[in-house]
């Protein structure tokens, strides 16, 4: 009897616990919210296990084409998920994967846990970093399948990508049905997740089908069958475009008509140039985080100000009314205060803000988001311009990292700083959006409230009071500036086609020196206004360029202390050293020539040596800067105290080249 009673009590407790749990009435795939969290954890552990197996498979298949052979002989290598510096193929899928990781990382940072472990607030940062690393570990096969050359690995990775995307979409659906506002916010928050998941799934499927079709047509299902599909021919296109002769200006004018002029006004495509994964990932991740932050701020503003604001104002007014009885209205400019209420400037401003702040605040959201997108587009444009300049050996006034007496970085620092660019760009872009939004909100709210008070409510006396207090200063500044322009016109000698082309030659010198003396005292008050204008301009341009790492917010002397700009310059230096099209094409030509020489050695080696010497002479004569480099190279090979003789040989060679 006791056991039956205990079992019935246990069943009753379990049923009551089930009833107290949040039931899923929107995402009907799960019964309760705890079940949804449990299955989500199981799916996460399965993803980690599959990631380990796929990484092992890629490791054994990196060195050779046959996976079983590699496993039998234990020939494994360290696989890489993506080469962010040199990869130019399937960049859209790679960027979508980076956007996906960004959203999940944001959710982890904002408090959503992946691992069901409790920890104190002191070690929260460590666990957050650990969970972000686990997310990157789960996304490793996603990046690897995008860039793999293995047909077998491509098929296995495609299955993993689809399972991965479907699981995140399923668990991204809310458990409970909510009101219309929360539903819209939830849809807008999860919209990037659905877009990136669909983009990755469809892109990987298309890539798999393309490789399968190519392998079937060639009847060749080998390990590196995707090499022919992923041929990186953009280097050759770039070199051809550089070597190609330019058309005449008349032909260019005839061709650039219609929509081409409109397209070239905004963006001019360059043959053979492709943006790297680094800059594209930085731009997409930045805008994804900015979008998520904007949705969170809109949700908080709508809930706290639009919905709770009127209740707060009415309750505060009621409390103030109960505390002070029999008081009359002290101001006739209030909005909704009736006779018998107590006037409070704080409550008046709060009610005014709640009533009329919708338009400026939402406009600030839209403008700040558009400014963020525009800054990223301008960064991409400057990146292309600067990188092409690096290809040609030109820097367009950019900071030099070597041979700089103020700031000199070794190669190890350039390597480390270039790896910081993506993270710095994301952080700078996010903070810039927040600062720009609050600045725009303050300015637009002030302008909008002034418009409401003066135009709508008819408080014209406020505008007249402000104008009456500042018009003498404005008149003095205007008169002083105009007078200086007119007098300076009298001090210049006549000559030139127009006023702007006059020579800098003084006339009426005595009068000018008196004018210069008295202007010291006149321009001192103007300097105060000019200083204020300089501060406002610095704030404006600082906010505008805060998210742009392609330009420094500091002066040329102190630009080396700008960590974001330094990371950008190091990124350009690193990409120029690793992915210069001219260098890569030249190296490929040399490798092919060496391979042909080894396969088919020349019959007359002396004749080949003479031809190479003449080619060297011709190259050095057309590139004088290479003479010094070759001189240093020859001098470094002197091991037996033959530096003097080698120097004489180099000097004789230089004299011959100059004479040639």
Tens of pLDDT, residues 438-456: 999 889 888 887 887 777 7
Lowest average pLDDT, out of 55-69, 144-158, 412-426, goes to 55-69
**Do residues 633 and 616 lie in contact, with contact meaning Cβ atoms separated by under 8 Å?**
no
| Model pLDDT, residue 81 | 75
Residues 6+ positions from 440 with CB-CB distance below 8 Å: 363, 364, 367, 368
Task: Give residue 657's pLDDT band: very low, low, confident or very high (50, 70, 90).
Answer: very low
**Do residues 215 and 221 lie in contact, with contact meaning Cβ atoms separated by under 8 Å?**
yes
Lowest average pLDDT, out of 288-302, 387-401, 472-486, 517-531, goes to 387-401
**Do residues 238 and 388 lie in contact, with contact meaning Cβ atoms separated by under 8 Å?**
no
Residue, of 421 and 178, whose pLDDT is higher:
421
| Model pLDDT, residue 325 | 45
Lowest average pLDDT, out of 44-53, 403-412, 470-479, 552-561, goes to 403-412
Residues 6+ positions from 281 with CB-CB distance below 8 Å: 84, 94, 95, 98, 422
246 pLDDT above the threshold of 80: no
581 pLDDT above the threshold of 80: yes
Residues 6+ positions from 357 with CB-CB distance below 8 Å: 305, 445, 448
CA triplet 183, 184, 187: central angle to 5 degrees? Answer: 85
Q: Report the first-to-last Cα separation within the chain, whole angstroms.
A: 115
16 pLDDT above the threshold of 80: no
**Do residues 14 and 163 lie in contact, with contact meaning Cβ atoms separated by under 8 Å?**
no
Mean pLDDT computed over every residue of the chain: 73
DSSP class of residue 63 equals S
Which of left, alpha, beta for 111 (phi over 0: left; psi -120 to 50: alpha)? left
Q: How far apart are CA 114 and CA 132, in angstroms?
A: 9
149-177 pLDDT, tens digit each: 677 777 777 888 888 778 777 777 766 66
Average pLDDT, integer, range 611-638: 76
Q: Return the closest-CA partner of residue 563 out of 576, 573, 549.
A: 549
Query: Token pair of 92, please?
Result: 């859209």
| Model pLDDT, residue 77 | 56
Q: Is 498 exposed, middle or buried (0-12, 13-18, 19+ CB in 10 A)?
A: exposed
Task: Give residue 645's pLDDT band: very low, low, confident or very high (50, 70, 90).
Answer: very low
311-362 pLDDT, tens digit each: 665 665 565 555 554 444 444 444 444 444 444 555 566 666 667 778 888 8
Task: Give residue 630's pLDDT band: very low, low, confident or very high (50, 70, 90).
Answer: confident
217 pLDDT above the threshold of 70: no
Lowest average pLDDT, out of 24-38, 144-158, 574-588, goes to 24-38
| Model pLDDT, residue 287 | 92
Task: Give residue 257's pLDDT band: very low, low, confident or very high (50, 70, 90).
Answer: low
Most confident listed range (115-119, 159-163, 367-371, 615-619):
367-371
State the pTM of this model. 0.75
Q: What stretches of 452-562 show up as alpha helix (H) in DSSP?
A: 460-491, 509-545
Q: Where are the domains of the chain?
A: 25-231, 337-572, 603-660
Average pLDDT, integer, range 475-485: 82
């Amino acid at each position: 009897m006791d056991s039956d009673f205990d079992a019935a009590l246990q069943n009753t407790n379990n049923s009551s616990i089930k009833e107290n749990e949040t039931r899923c009435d929107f995402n009907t795939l799960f019964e309760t919210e705890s079940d949804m969290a449990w299955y989500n954890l199981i799916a996460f552990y399965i993803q980690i296990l599959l990631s380990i197996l796929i990484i092992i498979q890629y490791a054994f298949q990196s060195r050779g084409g046959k996976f079983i052979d590699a496993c039998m002989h234990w020939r494994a290598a360290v696989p890489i998920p993506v080469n962010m510096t040199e990869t130019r193929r399937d960049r859209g899928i790679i960027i979508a994967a980076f956007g996906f990781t960004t959203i999940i990382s944001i959710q982890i940072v904002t408090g959503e846990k992946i691992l069901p472990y409790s920890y104190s607030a002191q070690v929260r940062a460590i666990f957050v970093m650990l969970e972000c690393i686990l997310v990157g570990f789960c996304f490793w096969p996603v990046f690897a399948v995008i860039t793999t050359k293995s047909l077998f690995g491509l098929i296995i990775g495609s299955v993993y990508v689809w399972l991965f995307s479907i699981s995140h979409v399923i668990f991204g659906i809310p458990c409970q049905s909510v009101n219309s506002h929360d539903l819209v916010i939830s849809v807008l928050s999860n919209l990037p997740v659905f877009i990136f998941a669909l983009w990755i799934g469809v892109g990987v499927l298309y890539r798999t089908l393309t490789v399968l079709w190519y392998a079937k047509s060639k009847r060749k299902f080998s390990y590196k069958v995707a090499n022919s599909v992923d041929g990186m021919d953009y280097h050759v296109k770039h070199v051809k475009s550089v070597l190609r002769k330019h058309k005449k200006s008349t032909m260019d004018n005839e061709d650039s008509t219609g929509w081409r002029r409109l397209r070239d006004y905004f963006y001019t495509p360059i043959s053979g140039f492709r943006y790297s994964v680094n800059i594209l990932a930085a731009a997409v991740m930045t805008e994804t985080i900015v979008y998520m932050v904007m949705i969170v701020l809109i949700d908080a503003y709508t809930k706290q100000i639009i919905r709770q604001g009127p209740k707060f104002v009415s309750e505060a007014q009621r409390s103030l009314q109960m505390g002070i009885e029999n008081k009359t209205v002290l101001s006739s400019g209030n909005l909704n205060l009736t006779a018998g209420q107590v006037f409070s400037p704080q409550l008046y401003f709060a009610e005014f803000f709640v009533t009329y702040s919708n338009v400026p605040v939402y406009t600030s959201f839209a403008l700040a988001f558009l400014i963020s997108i525009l800054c990223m587009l301008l960064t991409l444009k400057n990146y292309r311009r600067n990188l092409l300049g690096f290809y040609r050996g030109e820097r367009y006034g950019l900071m030099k990292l070597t041979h700089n007496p103020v700031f000199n970085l070794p190669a190890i620092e350039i390597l480390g700083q270039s790896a910081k660019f993506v993270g710095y760009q994301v952080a700078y872009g996010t903070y810039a959006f927040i600062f720009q939004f609050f600045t725009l909100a303050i300015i637009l709210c002030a302008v909008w409230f002034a418009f409401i008070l003066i135009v709508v409510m008819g408080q014209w006396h406020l505008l007249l009071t402000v104008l009456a207090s500042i018009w003498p200063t404005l008149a003095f500044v205007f008169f002083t500036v105009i007078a200086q322009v007119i007098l300076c016109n009298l001090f210049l000698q006549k000559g030139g086609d127009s006023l702007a082309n006059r020579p800098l030659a003084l006339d009426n010198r005595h009068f000018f020196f008196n004018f210069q003396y008295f202007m010291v005292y006149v321009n001192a008050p103007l300097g105060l206004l000019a200083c204020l204008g300089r501060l406002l301009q610095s704030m404006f341009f600082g906010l505008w360029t805060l998210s742009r790492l392609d330009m420094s917010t500091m002066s040329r002397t102190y630009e080396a202390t700008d960590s974001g700009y330094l990371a950008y310059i190091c990124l350009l230096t690193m990409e120029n050293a690793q992915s210069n099209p001219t260098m890569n094409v030249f190296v490929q030509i040399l490798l092919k020539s060496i391979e042909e020489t080894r396969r088919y050695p020349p019959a007359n080696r002396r004749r080949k040596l003479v031809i190479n010497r003449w080619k060297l002479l011709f190259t050095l004569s057309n590139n004088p800067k290479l003479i010094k480099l070759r001189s240093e190279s020859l001098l470094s090979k002197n091991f037996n105290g033959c530096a003097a003789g080698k120097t004489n040989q180099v000097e004789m060679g230089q004299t011959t080249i100059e004479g040639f």
